[in-house]
Amino acid sequence: MGKKLLKVAIISIFIIITIFSLQQKSYADVDKANVGNSGAGNSILNTKDYEPSPQKSDSFNSKVATVLSILQVVGIIAIVIGIAIMGFNTIIGSAEEKAVEEKKAIGLIVGAVMIFGVTTIAKFIISIVD
């Protein structure tokens, strides 16, 4: 029961982190000069009064986000290569080698979870700070 609850908790945490990391931001400013020029008593908004403004981020946050993205891409490539090598060794290996590869797979899975978890948490913190 305890292991099952732990697995459910871990999966739930990763789902929540993933949802928060995939949020989209929208920035729009009102053109103050044209507000109210749409006509008196007109309750329909004029979409020309709203223009997107550039995202305001300082250079440190953008550099950190770039580094995190690079780390995540490198991690994905390393994980895919590791899985391919372990799969090949498992297919052609004996029973002993399969057991060794199984132990390596656990380490690879833990590493993958750490890479995605750390980069996602860091991106989430950066998005909160912005």
* Residue 115 in domain: yes
Average of per-residue pLDDT values in the chain: 76
* Residue 27 in domain: no
**pTM of the predicted structure, to 2 decimals:** 0.51
* Residue 120 in domain: yes
The CA–CA distances, whole Å, from 15 to 18, 26, 54 equal 5, 23, 30
Q: What is the pLDDT of residue 52?
A: 66
At 64, list the tokens. 């950190």
* Residue 10 in domain: no
* Residue 111 in domain: yes
pLDDT in tens, 14-57: 778 777 766 666 565 555 555 555 445 455 666 666 666 666 65
Q: 82: domain range?
A: 58-130
* Tally of structural domains, the chain: 1
* Residue 76 in domain: yes
For residue 47, the 8-state DSSP code is G
* Residue 81 in domain: yes
* Residue 49 in domain: no
DSSP string of 29-49?
EE-TTTTTTT-TT--SPPGGG
